[in-house]
Amino acid sequence: MTGITTAVTNGITRTFSWRGRAGRSEYWFYVLFCWAVVLGLAFTFDAFESGVVASIGGVSIMLVWFSLFSAMIRRLHDTGRSGAWVLIVFLPLIGGFWLFLVMTEPAQPHPNRFDHLAHPVDTNADHPSPE
């Protein structure tokens, strides 16, 4: 299980990376952190009536949501699904519920197509090439 500090660090440093995987604990700790940040930003910037300050708050909140979206795609990879499955949320009535259920599924215990190994496994080792 990933701790909250590691989850937040991974989430922030991998904001612009949609590659790899994010485990359940890493994803949910990061979701909790992002919600806390968004609520804090919303209350902070709501106190100001200046258009510039409100704009900075809006941009900040969009960056947090983008980071959370990136973590969501890595979590889908951990379950063996493509990041495009995040679009299921636009399916009326059941899309958001289905996506929530997928995010709670356990990870695939074996390497999948979204793992980026430093030394790729030779999948043809059992089948020697005809030479």
Taking only the tens place, the pLDDT of each residue in 51-94 is: 777 778 778 888 999 999 999 999 999 999 999 999 998 998 89
What pTM was estimated for this model as a whole?
0.77
Q: What is the SS3 assignment for 17-50?
A: CCCCCCCHHHHHHHHHHHHHHHHHHHHHHHCCCC
Residues in contact with 33: Cβ distance below 8 Å, sequence separation at least 6, in sequence order: 4, 7, 8, 11
Taking only the tens place, the pLDDT of each residue in 26-55 is: 999 999 999 999 888 888 776 666 777 777
